[in-house]
């Protein structure tokens, strides 16, 4: 494939305006100096909700996969200097002590906190979906202008470690991510939706 052919191909299928915008974001997010991740602010705690509709002791949760994710992320927090992301769990059907709704983890109290009664339905047959969100403010504290680029890498790394032993399927990101974040009670200006997964119980 010669250069002329590639130029012709790209001119037909690539939106140059979109390409410029993506490159601009990427170039801005690249570190200009050595990244210093030290911070005087303690951010080694998982983000927990300000308002809770209900709380369930994790020991009472019958879902093996939810408990596995809970204890894996607790292990990560306890063995790392900082955590810049957090999972939000959507339960579409009742699973013993967990009624349908939106949940977050409070690892300091070993509880799963219900933050919304909203039920998210997808084409997937699984009852549990996990939304991985980047805590933008904490990422900015640690990485500054590279927060978006480094934050995505951090979130995907945490996600991979937390899912050890967990069966999952990728869940397509929703077209209107801001709307879905508002639906689950998350401020879309403070937390960025990075990835979604459908969790398989068996």
Question: Do 76 and 39 meet the contact criterion of CB atoms below 8 Å apart?
Answer: no
Packed helices 147-162 and 64-79: angle between N→C axes, nearest 10 degrees: 130
b/e per residue 78-91 (b: at least 16 CB within 10 A)? eeeebbbbbbbbbb
Among 27-41, 71-85, 167-181, whose mean pLDDT is lowest?
27-41
Q: What's the CA angle centered on 192, arms 191 and 193, to 5 degrees? A: 120
- Convert the pLDDT of each residue in 62-92 to its tens digit: 889 999 999 999 999 999 888 999 999 999 8
Rounded average pLDDT over 100-124: 87
- Separation CA 49–CA 128 (nearest Å): 19
Residue 34 pLDDT grade (very low, low, confident, very high; cuts 50, 70, 90): low
The confidence score (pLDDT) of residue 30 equals 77
Q: How far apart are the first and last CA of the chain?
A: 47
The confidence score (pLDDT) of residue 66 equals 92
The confidence score (pLDDT) of residue 174 equals 60
Residue 35 pLDDT grade (very low, low, confident, very high; cuts 50, 70, 90): low
Q: Which residue segments constitute the domains of the chain, with CATH numbers given?
A: 1-30 (no CATH), 41-199 (3.40.109.10)
The confidence score (pLDDT) of residue 96 equals 81
For the CA atoms of 171, 173, 176, 177, what is the dihedral angle to 10 degrees?
A: 100
Measure CA 137 to chain center.
Answer: 14
Residue 37 pLDDT grade (very low, low, confident, very high; cuts 50, 70, 90): low
Q: Is the pLDDT of residue 4 over 60?
A: no
Q: Closest Cα to residue 168, out of 66, 31, 43? A: 66
Measure CA 189 to chain center.
Answer: 14
The confidence score (pLDDT) of residue 13 equals 78
| Structure tokens given for 134 | 């980047």
Q: Is 130 exposed, middle or buried (0-12, 13-18, 19+ CB in 10 A)?
A: buried
């Amino acid at each position: 494939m010669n250069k002329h052919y590639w130029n012709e191909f790209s001119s037909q299928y690539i939106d140059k305006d979109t390409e410029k915008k993506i490159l601009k974001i990427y170039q801005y997010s690249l570190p200009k100096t050595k990244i210093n991740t030290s911070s005087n602010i303690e951010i080694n705690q998982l983000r927990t909700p300000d308002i809770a509709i209900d709380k369930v002791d994790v020991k009472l949760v019958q879902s093996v996969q939810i408990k596995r994710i809970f204890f894996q992320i607790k292990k990560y927090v306890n063995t790392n200097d900082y955590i810049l992301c957090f999972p939000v769990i959507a339960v579409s059907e009742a699973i013993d002590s967990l009624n349908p709704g939106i949940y977050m983890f409070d690892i300091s109290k070993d509880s799963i906190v219900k933050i919304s009664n909203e039920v998210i339905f997808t084409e997937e047959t699984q009852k549990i979906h996990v939304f991985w969100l980047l805590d933008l403010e904490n990422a900015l504290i640690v990485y500054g202008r590279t927060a978006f680029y480094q934050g995505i890498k951090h979130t995907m790394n945490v996600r991979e470690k937390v899912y050890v032993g967990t069966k999952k399927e990728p869940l397509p990101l929703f077209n209107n991510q801001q709307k879905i974040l508002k639906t689950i009670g998350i401020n879309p200006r403070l937390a960025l939706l990075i990835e979604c997964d459908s969790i398989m119980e068996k």
